[in-house]
Homo-oligomer: A and B are copies of this chain.
Amino acid sequence: MSSTFGSHFKISTWGESHGAGVGVVIDGCPPGVSLSREMIQQALDRRRPGQSDIVTPRQEADEVEILSGVLDGTTLGTPIALSVRNKDHRSSAYDEMQHIYRPSHADYCYDAKYGIRAWAGGGRASARETIGRVAAGAVAEAVVRRLCPDVAVIGWVEQVHTIVCPVRPEEVNAAVVESNIVRTADAESAAKMAAAIREARSQGDSLGGIVACTVRNCPVGLGDPVFDKLEATLAHAMLSIPACKGFEVGSGFTAPRYRGSEHNDAFYMEGERVRTRTNFSGGIQGGISNGEDINMRLAFKPTATLMLEQDTVNDAHQEVRLRGKGRHDACVLPRAVPVVEAMVWLVLCEHLLHQRALRLN
């Protein structure tokens, strides 16, 4: 298992859904950065279960404890250990799943790969695993903003099932996103999406969608060709999020529609600053940020665990029927937004520290 991410700002997450807790150790955080428990708790509150009626009702306060690496509100440069205890886990709901593989979930593959599986709650394959990411992302954000105070990372739900929020990336307002329980970019879409999620849930079914994310005021020069291009590490980060099936940056999968003469982003000068007239590149050229907004989109599949009866097999390799139990999100997207943002902060922090090591003057 590889639960380590990053090279300079290196995080190691841990924890099963129904074990003692979940958390992360961050190795390589620079010293002298202001960091409080509240900064991390706020980030976790945005992903925690039970925050609205359209997400899983599991009741977890997800209170974080800083175990090391911080003294009097300032990072020491030593490893930062963050821990969240599991409280409201009801393993009994999983009794049936101990031997039966949920379709499109990780159950079968974990058994095949490891020969053993923490069946209760999904173990590491639970969305609960993302707590460590979000906690570490809050620390990464603190580091990046210390160095580049204007950088903003804004994620939002652009689509749920067939409902598309029409707001363009450059017009998205973070306060609006945070003001609705779906975390989409306008109130009208929010109402429609919430209704769709409630309906799917009432049917025991689930929905997927698109999360979009934009980075504003990113410094020029982040990204490390040829293998750790900025879009490559972002893609790695995003496809590691549970249920993510696709990633695109800038024009993405619409790029083939254009000829080069239409798609190229013409450079011009805006005062002292090199700008581009269009932004098909999505803020990245040659694997390196060019200072324009970094625009990306992620596809999420509908949640695999359903309250409907499904055909499947068990670990004795017999064909059986399964009806899911437990408390699950009928749509992960509202809670995926802070996870996506956290992964972006982690990627930006990594490249920013690398660039500081690299550039001598």
Contacts and interface: CB of A to CB of B under 8 A. Distances in A.
Contact of A15 (B81, B118, B129): B81
A354 B357 contact: yes
Contact of A106 (B74, B225, B354, B360): B225
B103 A267 contact: yes
Interface residues of A, number: 155
Contact of A249 (B77, B206, B220, B245): B245
A94 interface: no
A338 interface: no
A22 interface: yes
A230 to B, nearest CB: 9
Copies of this polypeptide in the complex: 4
B221 A112 contact: yes
Interface in A303-361: 303-304, 306, 308, 310-313, 317-319, 353-361
A109 B65 CA distance: 29
Contact of A113 (B68, B123, B221): B221
A117 B246 contact: no
A256 B303 contact: no
Nearest to A79: B14
B114 A31 contact: yes
10 contacts: A1-B225, A31-B114, A31-B358, A101-B267, A104-B263, A106-B285, A109-B221, A258-B302, A263-B301, A274-B317
Given A2-B225, A19-B68, A78-B118, 5 more contacts: A4-B12, A12-B25, A16-B71, A20-B66, A235-B247
